[in-house]
Amino acid sequence: QSVLTQPPSVSAAPGQKVTISCSGSSSNIGNNYVSWYQQFPGTAPKLLIYENNKRPSGIPDRFSGSKSGTSATLGITGLQTGDEADYYCITCDRSLNVWVFGGGTKVTVL
């Protein structure tokens, strides 16, 4: 049971948009930045979004992040078959000094 709650899966047709939610609490998401990661099978996770809504260099602007209260959202627009992967949200629970993860969301391009 993950501390942060994500939907197990989302899907959409190529070119469409998907959003992935990440729900937490006041002690984690409500009190710290959220980051998002993309993971393909058999490979290490890759940072997509940091500090709620910032993209590292090289990450296309099709990927976006937002946060409101104790929830965060990852958006992927112009969906491509190459976006099929697992996506995770992460934040730090500063009151417990532990990092907490979402359970991951599998994105399927129909």
Binding site for another protein (CB under 8 A): 2, 32-33, 35, 37, 39, 43-47, 50-51, 54, 56, 86, 88, 90-92, 97-104
User: Are the CB atoms for 91 and 37 separated by under 8 Å?
Assistant: no
Which pair of tokens denotes residue 21? 């939610």
**Exposed / middle / buried, residue 72 (Cβ in 10 Å: 0-12, 13-18, 19+):** buried
Identity at 96, one-letter amino acid code: L
Specify the residue, 17 or 54, whose C-beta has the smaller distance to another protein: 54
Angle at CA of residue 97, ends 96 and 100, nearest 5°: 85
Q: Least distance from C-beta 109 to another protein, angstroms?
A: 21
Q: Least distance from C-beta 87 to another protein, angstroms?
A: 11
Q: Least distance from C-beta 14 to another protein, angstroms?
A: 26
Specify the residue, 57 or 110, whose C-beta has the smaller distance to another protein: 57
Specify the residue, 28 or 71, whose C-beta has the smaller distance to another protein: 28
Cα separation, 1 vs 55, whole angstroms: 28
Q: Least distance from C-beta 47 to another protein, angstroms?
A: 5
